[in-house]
Structure 1
Amino acid sequence: MKIGIYGGSFNPIHNGHIYMAKFIVDYLKLDKLIVIPVGTPSHRKNTLADATMRLKMCKIAFENEKKIEVSDIETKSKDISFTYDTLLKIIETYPGNEYFEIIGEDSGEYFHKWKNYKEILKLAKVVVLQREGYSTILKDSNLLQVKNPFLNFSSTRVREAILNEESIENMVPKEVAEFIKVNKLYKK
């Protein structure tokens, strides 16, 4: 099987994330894409919405996608989340497959500074999605740069819109917007 691993803060998940997830399933002809909201991030202060809430939003966003599953592998852990450790857990859960670690070019720019990045490249193909204004420094035969459409979406913009009491209906699925509203997420 070809298994993709798509981690991120998803704070909140937005239409750009959803589009890219579907795009990469088709582009790589994946059998399964595992979406993994980060638990405790290794690379920034934890200013994220509650992990359980971000996990639920991801599950809502992908509930009708047969090839996409959402995993709580990081959100249920109290440890700092490192891609290498999560990849090892995925390989243990789904042994003997071909693995694709999906990252954005914003992460690709500093991938060479990630914990055990050389081992990640031995265990999986690292697939870098283009993001405007970024470029991947590292070159490796197991690092694939994808020519994908640029989408003008960001979680930061969604959170700003919520704070400014602007509509987010074109940025997130309506069920996710409703979940955010009901749970009063991203309000000061």
Structure 2
Amino acid sequence: MVGMFGGTFDPVHNAHLRVALDVVEAGDLERLHLIPCHVPPHRGDPDVTAEHRLAMLKRAAAGEPRFLVDDRELQRDGPSYTVDTLRSLHADAAGVHLVLVVGTDSFLSLPRWHQWRELVEWAHVVVLERPFAVGNMPSTLESWLQGRRAENWTELREAPAGRVLFQPVTPMAVSATDVRARMRAGRSPRYLLPDPVWDYIREHGLYGAGRQVG
């Protein structure tokens, strides 16, 4: 079983990595593709270039052999639609069960995604369930979820696609928005980011961090 975990990773931080590892271990995944998006369809452009975001993600993922940094969305023109990425992954790994990993906020916004109902034709969906992430489920999504919810990873392995599993993960209240705000205010994000990522940010003066020394 192979997973896909996408996002802007602007910048990648420790919570991204911790929940990714939680999913890999819970599902005994062969690998998890970490896929930075090129043009996010549902938010503004990232603060730094794709080249920098990819480089930071590679530094962050180094040392965990089950993490695979995948730049396929950066190679495509136009918006980074998840359904297109799943089709591409499916073509590369025929016969392998795919898992789309999404956060709670992303799951709740699913009805606004491009061709969102087709996602489960290509993969299972695993929702990162954290105690502090709350929200009301849209009625459209609630109806769609009926009959799709899985109770465990065994159920995901028994079907090629189409199920939704809510996976508890380590509660870490870290966000890229907060990390960027700290750096712009001249405060250090150390211990919220992997040290190699923080070193890269300072080296290249990203997010207004050129003046940071700690």
TM over 0.5: yes
Shift of 1:122: 2.0
Is the helix fraction higher in 1 or 2? 2
Aligned to 1:152: 173
In the alignment, structure 2 segments of 5+ residues that lack a partner are 149-162, 210-214
**Distance between the aligned counterparts of 2:72 and 2:24, measured in 1?**
20
Letter in 1 for 2:134: Y
Aligned residue pairs total: 187
- Segment of structure 1 superposing worse, 147-156 or 52-61: 147-156
Partner of 2:206, secondary structure, is: coil
Larger-Rg structure:
2
Q: TM-score, normalised by structure 1?
A: 0.94
Shift of 1:136: 6.7
Aligned to 2:129: 130
Residue 164 (str. 1) matches residue 185 (str. 2): yes
Kept in 1: contact 2:18–2:170 (CA 8 A) = no
Identical positions, percent: 30
**Distance between the aligned counterparts of 1:133 and 1:86, measured in 2?**
26
What do the CA deviations read for 1:111-140 (whole angstroms, capped 9, x no partner)?
A: 122112221112111111024243472324
Shift of 1:105: 0.3
Aligned to 2:90: 91
Kept in 1: contact 2:8–2:46 (CA 8 A) = no
**Distance between the aligned counterparts of 2:184 and 2:207, measured in 1?**
7
Shift of 1:88: 0.6
Letter in 2 for 1:57: M
Question: Residues 168 and 47 from structure 1, CA distance in 2 versus in 1: closer, same or farther, beyond 3 angstroms?
Answer: same
Aligned to 1:48: 47
Question: Residues 135 and 27 from structure 1, CA distance in 2 versus in 1: closer, same or farther, beyond 3 angstroms?
Answer: farther
CA RMSD across the alignment:
1.4
Map 1:42-121 onto structure 2 (within 5 A).
42-121=41-120
Partner of 2:165, secondary structure, is: strand
Kept in 2: contact 1:110–1:136 (CA 8 A) = no
**Distance between the aligned counterparts of 1:121 and 1:147, measured in 2?**
21
